Every structure is written in C-alpha cells, then in structure tokens.
Amino acid sequence: QTVVTQEPSFSVSPGGTVTLTCGLSSGSVSTSYHPSWYQQTPGQAPRTLIYETNTRSSGVPDRFSGSILGNKAALTITGAQADDECDYYCVLYMGSDYYVFGTGTKVTVL
C-alpha cells in the first residue's frame, strides 16, 4: 500500500514563506510522479494549484510555486496571506494508471 506523506500542519506569519512537502513511504518523489497540488477551504471542493511539478493552474497567484526538494515534491507559499489558511493536498501519479492523494497539510496564517 503506497502512502503519500505530508506534514499534518504548518503555521506561517502573514507575509512569510512556508514550504510544504509531499513524500513517499518508500522511495523518492521525482517528476516521473507528476506531482500536483490542491487547495481546499472548508465545505468546498479542492482547487488545483500546481500540476506537472511546477506549472501553475490558470488564475493561481505566483506566490504559489512547486518544485522537487531532495526526495520530495514541495509547494512553497511566498508572502502568505490570510486567505491561504486552509488545507493543502498533493497527488502523485503512480504510473500504473492511478493516483494517490497525500494525507494533507493544514496551514494556519497567524
């Protein structure tokens, strides 16, 4: 059973920078897993932020960026704003034609 791990929670100050990561229980995340990132506010459907590791979805502010850091995928929020406070999920494409979601990170801006 593949487990995709994310930090349970992160706190960032307004205007600050935070980097969320997305790892595998066994192995390293690379661009071959085509990592994507989603933002979800309570009661709403997820919204796509990043796909193909580092491509921003239409309308997504450039304060959101994606990358590979070491053996994990990463989402960096630069200049955090109050409305960035919500849940963030990564998704990895496992290559056998299925996707696995990460466990999610709750970001608090305070």
Partner 1 sequence: QVQLQESGPGLVEPSGTLSLTCAVSGDSISSSDWWSWLRQTPGKGLEWIGEIYRGGNTNYNPSLKSRVTISVDKSKNHFSLKLSSMTAADTAVYYCARNGRYSLASWGQGTLVTVSS
Binding part of the chain for partner 1, among 9-17, 18-26, 61-69, 100-108 by CB under 8 A, reads: 100-108
Q: How far is the CB of 51 from partner 1 (least distance, A)?
A: 4
Return the residues of window 43-82 that contact partner 1 according to CB under 8 A.
44-48, 51-52, 55, 57
**29 near partner 1, rule: CB under 8 A:** no
* Kind plus residue range of the DSSP H or E element containing 75: strand 72-78
CA dist., res. 101 & res. 70, Å (int): 20
Tell me if residue 82 falls in helix, strand or coil: helix
CB of 56 or CB of 63, closer to partner 1:
56
Number of separate helices (H) and strands (E) present in the chain: 0, 11
